[in-house]
C-alpha cells in the first residue's frame, strides 16, 4: 500500500512540498473579518501590512475535525496510508482535531504531534518522506519520527519583540527595553512549547553569528542529512550571514532556505531567523 506523507501548513517547507509530493492541510488566518488559508491566498507581507495598519495581530485557527476527516478520506479512498504531521499540541488544537478526524480510518491514518513548529515540524515531515522512499512501513516511519520529535532543534531569534508582545508572550516593558538596547532572545521549543532562553545583544548579524556558534557547541553530534534556515522575510544580508556561519560550523549534506508562512509569521514578526536540524 502506498504511503502518503501529509502535514499542516505550519511546516514551512516551501518548494519541498511539491518536490516530495507532500499533502498539505492549511490553517486559516483572519485579518479583520476576512479569513484566508495559510499558503494559499495570503502572504507574510499581507500580515506585515495588516499589523502596521491596525496595530493588531491576525487571528489564526486550525481546521475542524470534519475538515481533517475529509482531508484524510481522499487519500485513504485512493488506497494510501497517511502519516500526518501537526504543529505542537501545546501550540494549537490541530493535533487533537486531526487525531479525532483520523479515527474512522483506523490504521490507515497515523497522526504525529511534531512537538515543534515551522521547519522543526518540517524536518520530521522530510524524514518521513525519506523513510517512505526507502520502503519502510507506515508503522516503522511513525515510530521513528515520534522518537525523533524529542531530538529536533527548533529555535529562532527575533529581531524585535513587537509581535511577541502583541501576542501576550512578553511584557510591554520587556519589549521596549529589548528594542531600545538591541536585545534579541533565543526562543526554543522545549517539550512542545516555546521558551525564552539566553539573550543576545547587538545588531542581528552579530546575534545570528553568536546563535549559530552556540548551536555548534550545544549540538556537537547531529543528523547531517539536512538543515533548514527559516526566516520571516529577513534581510538578504542576514540570511547570507546565517548561510556562511552554518557552512563554516556544520557539515550538513543539504542546507535549505525557507520563508515562514503566514501563521508562523503572524506570531514572530519580520526578520526573525532560525537554524533548525535534528540532533543525535
The string of pLDDT tens digits covering residues 257-276 is 999 998 888 777 888 999 99
Concatenate the DSSP letters of all residues of 122-136 into one string.
HHHHHHHHHHHHTT-
Cell of 75: 487519500
Q: What is the pTM of this model?
A: 0.92
Give the tens place of pLDDT for each residue, 105-130.
999 999 999 999 999 999 999 999 99
Concatenate the DSSP letters of all residues of 7-35 into one string.
EEGGG--TTHHHHTT-EEE--EEEETTEE
The CA-atom distances, in angstroms, between 255 and each of 224, 242, 243 are 10, 11, 8
Q: What is the mean pLDDT of residues 190-199?
A: 85
Tell me which residue has cell 516511519.
Answer: 141
More confident residue, 196 or 236: 236
pLDDT band for 167, please (50, 70, 90 cuts): low
Per CATH, domain 152-278 is 3.30.1180.10: yes
Average pLDDT score over the chain: 90
Segments in 136-273 forming alpha helices (H): 138-148, 162-166, 172-181, 204-218, 236-249, 262-268
pLDDT band for 176, please (50, 70, 90 cuts): very low
Of 2-6, 92-96, 262-266, the one with minimum mean pLDDT is 262-266
41 CB neighbour count, 10 Å cutoff: 12
> In this predicted structure, what is the pLDDT of residue 164?
57
Q: What is the mean pLDDT of residues 224-228?
A: 98
> In this predicted structure, what is the pLDDT of residue 71?
98
Q: How far apart are CA 4 and CA 133, in angstroms?
A: 11
Q: Which of 216, 217, 154, 161 is nearest to 184 (CA)?
A: 161
Question: First vs last Cα of the chain: how many Å apart?
Answer: 31
Q: What is the CATH class of 2-27+63-149?
A: alpha beta
Give the tens place of pLDDT for each residue, 65-87.
999 999 999 999 999 999 999 99
Where do the domains of the chain lie? Answer: 2-27+63-149, 152-278
Q: Which of 18, 32, 14, 99 is nearest to 62 (CA)?
A: 99
Q: Do domains 2-27+63-149 and 152-278 have the same CATH topology?
A: no
Q: How far apart are CA 3 and CA 48, in angstroms?
A: 38
pLDDT band for 198, please (50, 70, 90 cuts): confident
Q: Which of 4, 28, 2 is nearest to 102 (CA)?
A: 4
Q: By CB neighbour count within 10 A (0-12 exposed, 13-18 middle, 19+ buried), where does 208 fall?
A: buried
Amino acid at each position: 500500500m502506498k504511503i502518503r506523507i501529509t502535514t499542516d501548513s505550519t511546516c514551512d517547507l516551501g518548494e519541498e512540498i511539491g518536490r516530495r509530493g507532500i499533502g498539505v492541510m492549511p490553517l486559516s488566518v483572519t485579518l479583520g473579518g476576512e479569513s484566508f488559508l495559510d499558503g494559499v491566498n495570503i502572504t507574510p507581507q499581507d500580515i506585515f501590512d495588516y499589523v502596521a495598519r491596525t496595530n493588531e495581530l491576525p487571528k489564526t485557527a486550525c481546521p475542524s475535525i470534519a475538515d481533517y476527516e475529509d482531508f484524510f478520506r481522499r487519500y485513504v479512498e485512493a488506497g494510501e496510508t497517511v502519516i500526518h504531521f501537526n504543529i505542537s499540541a501545546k501550540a494549537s488544537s490541530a493535533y487533537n482535531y486531526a487525531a479525532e478526524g483520523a479515527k474512522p480510518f483506523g490504521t490507515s491514518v497515523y497522526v504525529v504531534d511534531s512537538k515543534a513548529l515551522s521547519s522543526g515540524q518540517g524536518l520530521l515531515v522530510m524524514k518521513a518522506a525519506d523513510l517512505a522512499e526507502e520502503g519502510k512501513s507506515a508503522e516503522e516511519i511513525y515510530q521513528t519520527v515520534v522518537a525523533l520529535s524529542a531530538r529536533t532543534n527548533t529555535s529562532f531569534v527575533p529581531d524585535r519583540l513587537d509581535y511577541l508582545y502583541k501576542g501576550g508572550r512578553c511584557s510591554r516593558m520587556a519589549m521596549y527595553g529589548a528594542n531600545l538596547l538591541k536585545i534579541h532572545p533565543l526562543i526554543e521549543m522545549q517539550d512542545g512549547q516555546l521558551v525564552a532562553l539566553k539573550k543576545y545583544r547587538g545588531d542581528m548579524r552579530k546575534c545570528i553569528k553568536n546563535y549559530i556558534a552556540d548551536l555548534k557547541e550545544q549540538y556537537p553530534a547531529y543528523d547531517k542529512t539536512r538543515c533548514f534556515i527559516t526566516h520571516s522575510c529577513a534581510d538578504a544580508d542576514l540570511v547570507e550571514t546565517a548561510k556562511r556561519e552554518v557552512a563554516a560550523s556544520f557539515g550538513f549534506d543539504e542546507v535549505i532556505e525557507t520563508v515562514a508562512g503566514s501563521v508562523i509569521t503572524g506570531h514572530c514578526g519580520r526578520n526573525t531567523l532560525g537554524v533548525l536540524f535534528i540532533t543525535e
